[in-house]
Amino acid sequence: MICSICPRRCGALRDATHAGFCGVGDAPVVARAAPHFWEEPCISGTRGSGAVFFSGCSLRCVFCQNHLISAGGQGKTVTVERLRGIFRELENQGVHNLNLVTGSHFLPAICQALDPQPAVPVVWNSGGYESPLALKALDGKVQVYLPDMKYMDGALAGRLSGAEDYPQVARAAILEMFRQTGPYVLDGDGMLTRGVMIRHLVLPGQLDNTFSVLDWLAETFRPGDVLVSLMGQYTPNGVGGPDRRLTPEEYQRAADYMAALGLLEGYTQELSSGSAEYTPPFDGTGV
């Protein structure tokens, strides 16, 4: 197919032998499908989130934790029928939801694979760099959106993720997600069953970017509209981006700013010495 799924609209003829900017063809490539326990509590719960990690990505984040699959090509090509089987197998394991991680470039195949009435909520877990027009295909198929809002600084987005237009693209994408779901809904066990939770990773030395992101969220959404997850697990990888971890003082300033804006619905983190626990082995489990 001539691809125009993501905001880059690269026009590549994606098939079994040709890749788009995302680095993959049109058939889904999956690196892991298993219960995952390292998402926010309202996603992972006690039984885990049924995470399906797709390979390839339309961003080029130099600090990506999942670089082995986002840019390294690790994963197995599967058919739509097999992908549907993967979804059902996860549901049968008792997971709280189906968590589709970075699947935007496989959107047509994913739409075919999803059951019209899934047994559990479907979570669309993405970097936020998405076409609102493409997202419309997920209306009614996805109950929970879990996007990043990485940048409000276009120059920073260009330098660290290869996408200077990230701020305006992500804002439009998140608004489309919210249009589809409306205000978030938690069930009696505190699990997110519908709505949008927006993640932001605080980058070392880039608090002004974080403040701008939080300003936009506070200006755009009312209390009860969305959840916000402020993340602090940035880990330098020697490839690019800041070459140090976030300091506790930096993260506390970001968390205090978030609270001062009234963004009280969501999550902050305890800073850890490393983030390896957040990255599962991409060893083909469940594929």
| CATH, residue 171 | 3.20.20.70
Query: pLDDT grade, residue 150 (50/70/90)?
Result: very high
Residue 60 lies in a domain: yes
Residue 220 lies in a domain: yes
Q: What are phi and psi of 135, to 5 degrees?
A: -60, -25
pLDDT at 174 over 50: yes
Query: pLDDT grade, residue 273 (50/70/90)?
Result: very low
Q: What is the mean pLDDT of residues 179-185?
A: 98
10 Å CB burial of residue 126 (0-12, 13-18, 19+) is buried
Mean pLDDT value across the chain: 94
Q: What is the mean pLDDT of residues 177-185?
A: 98
What is the pLDDT at residue 241? 81
Amino acid identity of residue 90, one-letter, is: L
Residue 1 lies in a domain: no
pLDDT digits (tens, 9 = 90+) for 156-170: 999 999 999 999 999
Pick the closest to residue 286 from 85, 26, 74, 56 (CA basis): 85
The pTM for the full model equals: 0.96
Range of the domain at 54: 29-278
Structural domain total, the chain: 1
Residue 236 lies in a domain: yes
Cα angle 132-135-137, degrees, rounded to a multiple of 5: 130
pLDDT at 182 over 70: yes
The secondary element (H helix, E strand) that includes residue 158 is helix 154-161
Give the integer Cα–Cα distance in Å for 257 and 268. 12
Residue 286 lies in a domain: no
Are residues 286 and 86 in contact, defined by beta-carbon separation less than 8 angstroms?
Answer: yes
